[in-house]
Structure 1
């Protein structure tokens, strides 16, 4: 079923410094892991609340699958979710997180995960998981406002154990913003690539509120939902967003604002749907005592922006934790990551070697060790030594792949190891990049690297598919301009060769 058809059917029914890991006043807590079909949820709370939360996530996944389909959703990497007890714990993982923010979702080359305060703001994770799900479903051509509006639309959804689902429920916070705030011009909303195009914090809040209201208005009526499908196809084909809007709906932006304000002031209806009851299989295990002091600093150290990190403090924390838990793989991997990033590479290798002796299938340890070996090969002057070291790195990555066949980081590292080869990219290289993006369509930098490889291999259509979500990423980022340039290069190459 096409997206436009599903839309018609709908109408019917962030990183930074670090505080000490051993925070005074925080009592020791047992960390548990709950694993289900699509999630791995970690929590230092009770087992019952952990099981309940994991089941709610699986039911929400079932709702999205019922609305948007996608059998491939059952063959993706499980999303890690960390649940903590309060803001103090959350800010060990993200110390400079703004006040009032109760969690965040991150998709980077180091990991894809969500972390939030238990019971504080479930809407946040449902919003971000909608983005996550839509990326897995291959829906990367949505305009910024609709991508955010759709995530807001589903963020208030509920799904009972019997499968009774309600979605499109009113969002009190967004309604208040619409009633009290100064609206952005609708033309600006339609043209904006995402919230990053809006200068002020207040304006960005209105961007989300108006995107939610516009999406709600469109999906509340079958005729408007049908026109929305036409509009999305036009914008996806490259037509100007405002021109496409007026052609699809016959409403000028000013008139649209008037209608939308009246709609937002009225009674908002929501949709209901009965999906098959979901009783997920959930396996819960108690994790090692090291988790209580190690995991949140380790999450911090996975930030993709090292220049914004308080590296020396994190390094000291990791050394203290590893000394306290010298035979714990998690503590040793955390030390290895910190030493490699801010300390002594030899100490990093020693820590990781010991971690892999304790837990040979530790994927993060294997990835970090492979990185160290690859960096060592770059310093070698003898080709035989270079080949030997790279062979060791490949073997480490193959071990990681055997341990976790759906880990995008392994495929990306394998592909990058090959970039210096004379015959790069081979068909096998392109397949490796395709697997990396299959399991991490949310990581824009990997999509960009894969697209460049596809271009080098003459597979322009696949490169366009990879680049389009980067250009349409509602959160922006440095890759947007590069993706636009690469798309322009592809268009130029096609014009020069006369190919479609």
Structure 2
């Protein structure tokens, strides 16, 4: 479910970015689809990585699609407690045990070890479905499906159970005031619901409706008809009544009766999954650097405590002057809240220590590109942009699946007279391939496709933005662009 962000008092934010006094050893576990970082034991790290791989195997068995062996691995950070979690995100309200974020700066999940694993399984279901191209699902079904699989279990032998009861959602359904079912069917996502209590009911009712539909083969077949109709643009309520022959009011009564009874779940035997997991111990700097760095990467600068993060980054870099992670963190903080020259100096030193540090290369490319905007001659502009492109090519060689590198390479070309070339469109397509969850990159890629008269590709890129159940500022713009793409496709006789 989407993270909820609130402002806290400055004093709390200052406390939140202060490193813990006790030093912990961080480890990195890499498997086929995940990179999991933890300051806990190696055994628990291996067990958790294997659990995630087994859950991925269940989703793959259920939904098929590409093998996803050539996608970017999802970083997951496991921390000890709520205090550590709030170093990474001070604005989280009480009771939240973790969150998932997909932005232009990174795609990752972070959560407290041993608490609310359902949260990550919910978000990973969204993450997985984006990778298999499910962008036309109604908001309620997208959230309901994620809730449906969030309680799944998969044994080492491959025995999987999913659709297990969700006590929290059941309690809310029994105690809360239901949203009108017509509102649920029409809502694009939880952001369409005004009250916090209403948003909680949106998730609960979405789970209940999904569970009810998937509990019966006849209803499940009708669901496919309904989803196709909605995907083709039919009114959601009309499509529902045509597919199921049930009015929204009658549906509410059926769901209430269903959720009060005994809920069944599904079982499936998938091939046993024994993932290959490589564990390495990270540098001592990780214990004080990584969580403030995650905070500094936030895409919302007004929601982070910049001065405190800058001071923390300076302290960490002084303590670990030869650690690339500490220097990259300092470079980011200086560029964002401090002295840009000091930031460039820190990044230059980081790349001397670790020439393949992708984040350092990306930030240095940004610096050089910014310099080109201030250049006084075309020759100087070309030289600086060429340097930026060289830095990005180094980053791409170090990590070919990093969507940030592909997106920055494509953006660097936007000022060229021949933009977009075929290669530019391929670069945008690669950025989306490795980060279909980042809606702003999909939007930028769609604009490029429109400019290149690739209308069908633009429509495919825009549809998930329009249907994003978490909403966001790009939804209305995507609707406008989608209509424009359809209009131009028709005018070109491509319908």
TM-score normalised by length of structure 1: 0.96
Residue 407, structure 1, aligned to residue 414, structure 2:
no
Q: How many residues align?
A: 487
Which residue is 2:129 aligned to?
134
TM-aligned CA deviation for residue 70 of structure 1 = 2.1
Query: Residue 151 in 1 paired to residue 125 in 2?
Result: no
Partner residue, 2:220: 225
Counterpart Cα distance in 2 of 1:135 and 1:304: 21
Q: What's 1:107 paired with?
A: 102
1:91 corresponds in structure 2 to: 86
Distance in 2 separating the partners of 1:499 and 1:124: 43
Mapped partners of 1:446, 1:164: distance in 2: 38
**Structure 1's 246 and 199: CA in aligned 2 closer, same or farther, altered over 3 A?**
same
1:177 aligns with 2:189: no
**1:254 & 1:171 partners in 2: Cα distance?**
24
User: In the TM superposition, what is the alpha-carbon distance from 1:497 to its structure 2 partner?
Assistant: 3.8
Distance in 1 separating the partners of 2:30 and 2:121: 18
1:339 is aligned, of 334, 357, 368, to 334
For residue 333 of structure 1, report the CA deviation from its aligned partner: 0.3
Aligned counterparts of 1:211 and 1:475: Cα–Cα separation in 2 = 14
How far residue 326 of structure 1 moved from its aligned partner, in angstroms, is 0.3
Equivalence for 1:10: none
In structure 2, distance between residues paired with 1:460 and 1:487: 9
The DSSP-based 3-state class of the residue aligned with 1:80 is strand
Any idea what the Cα deviations from partners look like across 1:316-364, whole Å, max 9, x if unmatched?
A: 1111110110000000000011111111111111101100111111111
Structure 1: runs of 5+ lacking an equivalent: 1-13
1:261-280 aligned at under 5 Å gives the runs 261-280=256-275
1:296 equivalenced with 2:303 (yes/no): no
1:66 has 2:56 as partner: no
Who is 1:377 aligned against?
372
Q: Any stretches of 5+ residues in structure 2 without a counterpart?
A: none
Once residues 157 and 398 of structure 2 are traced to their aligned partners in structure 1, the CA distance between those partners, rounded to angstroms, is: 35
Between the aligned partners of 1:221 and 1:245, the Cα distance in structure 2 is 16
Q: How many Å separate the matches in 2 of 1:72 and 1:260?
A: 35
Q: Distance in 1 between matches of 2:20 and 2:434?
A: 40
Q: Distance in 1 between matches of 2:38 and 2:259?
A: 38
**Is the CA contact (8 Å cut-off) linking 1:157 and 1:167 kept in structure 2?**
yes
CA distance, structure 2, for counterparts of residue 421 and residue 269 of structure 1? 59
In the alignment, what sits opposite 1:79?
74
SS at 1:75 equivalent: coil
- Report the alpha carbon displacement of residue 19 of structure 1 after superposing the two structures with TM: 3.4
Q: Secondary structure at the match of 1:113?
A: strand
Secondary structure, in 3 states, of the residue corresponding to 1:288? coil
Give deviations 1:10-60, integer Å, cap 9, x for gaps: xxxx46784357747641100110110100000011111011000000000
Partner of 1:3: none
1:163 equivalent in structure 2: 158
The match for 1:348 is 343
User: Using the alignment, how far apart are the partners of 1:346 and 1:191 within structure 2?
Assistant: 51
Matched-pair contact (CA < 8 Å) for 1:19–1:92: no
Match of 1:368 in 2: 363
